[in-house]
Structure 1
Amino acid sequence: MKIAFFSVRDDEYDFVSQYAKKYQIEISICREALTLENVHLCKDATAISIMTTKTDRKIIEKLKEYNIQYISTRTIGFDHIDLKACQEYGIHVGNVSYSLSSVAEYTVMMILMSLRNIKLILERFSSQDFSLNHIRGRELKDLTVGIIGTGKIGQEVIRLLSHFSCHIIAYDLYPNETLKNQIEYVDLDTLYQRSDIISLHAPNADETYHMINQESIAKMKDDVIIINTARGALINTSDLIDALENKKIGYAALDVVENESHLYYKDLKNEVLDNRNLAILRSFPNVFLTPHTAFFTHQAVSNMVEYSITSSLAMHENKENPWLII
């Protein structure tokens, strides 16, 4: 069996080679994202492994021409793939899982950094401003944290936060029965109204698109903190900027933003970025931004590569595939 890998970063390269040898498969490696110009590199492959590349109908048509049977995305999210087109052309799709601690620990870090105004402290320290003006923080134990989405990562965030003695409430379309003795499930409006901190762990779907917007923000406490390590599309960025400017939102820590895919993971210094909202957010002292790196640990990257291979093998051998989407 052969798998064609695309968007292979330097930190993934050794893992791809290591696991190809372990599972005795043939591979091809392309550093670039999958496009119509390089789709021919799929020739003779059974499956492809991609990252967050937009994989639309035109690309899928070409994949069908090359007899690709399976698309594995080395991510949990799969909204970048046209699933409808894949179904029409008979191409299966799967995602991967990876260490829950990677995103969960990063989320807790962002919460703590937001509460203590770390961005401002570090910027001042670098210019030898050691004053205490505007950097007084808050303590997590005194606050209510609202978790939107109690899937695997949301559950791990809850487990970590439980050690800080804060009050935790949560919303999910499908509440987890095992969590009901540990946290309080509430409806979404109640979560907005009661939370001092709101942390997003929902997938990007029609029902979650721009769930943080002018209307929902109006229901929130003044000085609320918004944390997003899930998907940028969960937040209406323009409404977020308005709420930061009028001081309704006290702090935002964002590992993901809208329209990031053509920017993040590239060295773009000295270039003008075509994402005006990102530029505005970067200018705020109470917005902490990172370039979609919450997942980025040694263990998580290893998991993503290995599970992409084992998922493709399971599909090829007609075995049970825990990562199969369609």
Structure 2
Amino acid sequence: MKIAVFSTQPYDRRFLDEANLQSDPSNPFELVYQDASLSARTVSLAQGCEAVCVFVNDVLDAEVLEALAGYGVRAVLLRCAGFNNVDLQAAHRLGLFVARVPAYSPEAVAEHTLALVMTLNRHTHRAYNRVREGNFMLDGLLGITLHDKTVGIVGTGKIGLATARIFKGLGCRVLGYDPYPSADFQAVGEVVELDDLLGASDIVSLHCPLMDSTRHMINRESIRQMKRGAMLVNTSRGALIDTPAVIAALKSRQLGSLAIDVYEQEAQLFFHDRSGDIIDDDVFQRLMTFPNVLVTGHQGFFTEEALREISAVTLHNLSCLRDGVACANVVPAV
């Protein structure tokens, strides 16, 4: 089978090639790597392929899916857990096989969440730059002790649970909210309603999928419910946050600090080198002016273990289609 792999970086090629050779050395898939992201403008690159392999910022709306089906593409392989970028109704109407990687090294994202919190709280990124310039003053680097603080985990699935365990280990009080709470979470923290979590937490960390019910769940109203001066962390999906509302809360000091690894309009920014360009996203540029905002470019998943698991599961999903066996990772119709 021939697969067009979109939005590829050197590390994608490395781990997918490795998984391809290990999965079936005598009958490997033919992987055709494309640097471009998938969209209506680039969908023609999938001609001659039986499947496409895509990532978080590829566009799979009805127009793109219909074009893919017209080219004879039978499968959409998501090398990520989220599927908010896929028009599932159109995909199933067209008879396309859609499968994802539902859980890959949740500890990777949980550990990155901790890294963001520790960096932003103790200002280690600013201290690093100061020391390199010979400035050893501590003024402006004051943080708080996380022990005994309250951390609210919004979304208690595998990543949220892994994050909760880390903060529990630091001696924090852990609260969790989820419409479908994890039984395992109750051994780590206390399950509460979202309003109660927002009002009591010194740190609020988001670990939910992006759906209609969660889009802009952090907005002007929910921010007003948060403890004044709290830290907000998002390592899930950018559109969970209403960014202009967050900017207003930072300006008013209602929100104490913000750490994000995702951004609602990240598709034109993240996974690209824009260092020589003028970034014309005024909202993002405004965010970058705040000293109490920390942004990383969607790297929470970026560990060797996670990339190896993503590649292996992605090709396993395709093997299920090729061999005509049931696949546990198929995304059902909505």
Distance between the aligned counterparts of 1:10 and 1:307, measured in 2?
Answer: 19
Distance between the aligned counterparts of 1:171 and 1:256, measured in 2?
Answer: 21
Equivalent in the alignment of 2:64:
59
Distance between the aligned counterparts of 2:307 and 2:89, measured in 1?
Answer: 28
Deviation at 1:317? 2.2
Q: Identify which range, 187-196 or 240-249, moves more after superposition.
A: 240-249
Quick check: 1:3–1:28 contact (8 Å CA) kept in 2?
yes
Q: 1:95-244 maps to which residues of 2 (within 5 A)?
A: 95-96=100-101, 97-244=103-250
Deviation at 1:6? 1.7
Deviation at 1:12? 1.6
Quick check: 1:120–1:286 contact (8 Å CA) kept in 2?
no
Deviation at 1:38? 4.3
Deviation at 1:37? 4.8
Equivalent in the alignment of 1:270:
276
Distance between the aligned counterparts of 1:133 and 1:209, measured in 2?
Answer: 38
Deviation at 1:316? 2.8
TM norm structure 2: 0.93
Distance between the aligned counterparts of 2:106 and 2:320, measured in 1?
Answer: 23
Quick check: 1:114–1:225 contact (8 Å CA) kept in 2?
no
Distance between the aligned counterparts of 1:128 and 1:318, measured in 2?
Answer: 64
Q: 1:273-288 maps to which residues of 2 (within 5 A)?
A: 273-288=279-294
Equivalent in the alignment of 2:50:
46
Distance between the aligned counterparts of 2:328 and 2:159, measured in 1?
Answer: 17
Find the residue that maps to 1:13 and give its secondary structure: helix
Distance between the aligned counterparts of 1:308 and 1:192, measured in 2?
Answer: 36
Distance 1:36 1:232, change over 3 A: closer
Find the residue that maps to 1:3 and give its secondary structure: strand
Deviation at 1:267? 0.9
Q: Deviations over 1:182-224 (max 9, x none)?
A: 3100000000100000000011111111111111111111110
Find the residue that maps to 2:259 and give its secondary structure: strand
Equivalent in the alignment of 1:7:
7
Q: Deviations over 1:143-195 (max 9, x none)?
A: 00000000110111112222111100000001112322331000000001000
Quick check: 2:165–2:188 contact (8 Å CA) kept in 1?
no
Quick check: 1:3–1:46 contact (8 Å CA) kept in 2?
yes
* One-letter identity of the residue aligned with 2:290: F
Q: Does 1:26 align with 2:30?
A: yes
Equivalent in the alignment of 1:76:
81
Find the residue that maps to 2:147 and give its secondary structure: helix
Gaps of 5+ in 2: none
Deviation at 1:92? 2.0
Q: Identify which range, 17-26 or 262-271, moves more after superposition.
A: 17-26
Quick check: 1:119–1:285 contact (8 Å CA) kept in 2?
no
* One-letter identity of the residue aligned with 1:30: Q
Deviation at 1:62? 1.3
Distance 1:222 1:71, change over 3 A: same
Quick check: 1:119–1:288 contact (8 Å CA) kept in 2?
no
Displaced runs of 4 or more, over 6 A: none
Deviation at 1:251? 1.1
Distance 1:221 1:270, change over 3 A: same
Q: Deviations over 1:276-317 (max 9, x none)?
A: 111111111111110111111111112222211111111232
Find the residue that maps to 1:230 and give its secondary structure: coil
* One-letter identity of the residue aligned with 2:63: K
* One-letter identity of the residue aligned with 1:158: A
* Identical positions, percent: 33
Find the residue that maps to 2:3 and give its secondary structure: strand
Distance between the aligned counterparts of 1:238 and 1:39, measured in 2?
Answer: 32
Deviation at 1:58? 1.6
Deviation at 1:231? 0.8
Q: How many residues align?
A: 326
Distance between the aligned counterparts of 1:50 and 1:63, measured in 2?
Answer: 13
Gaps of 5+ in 1: none
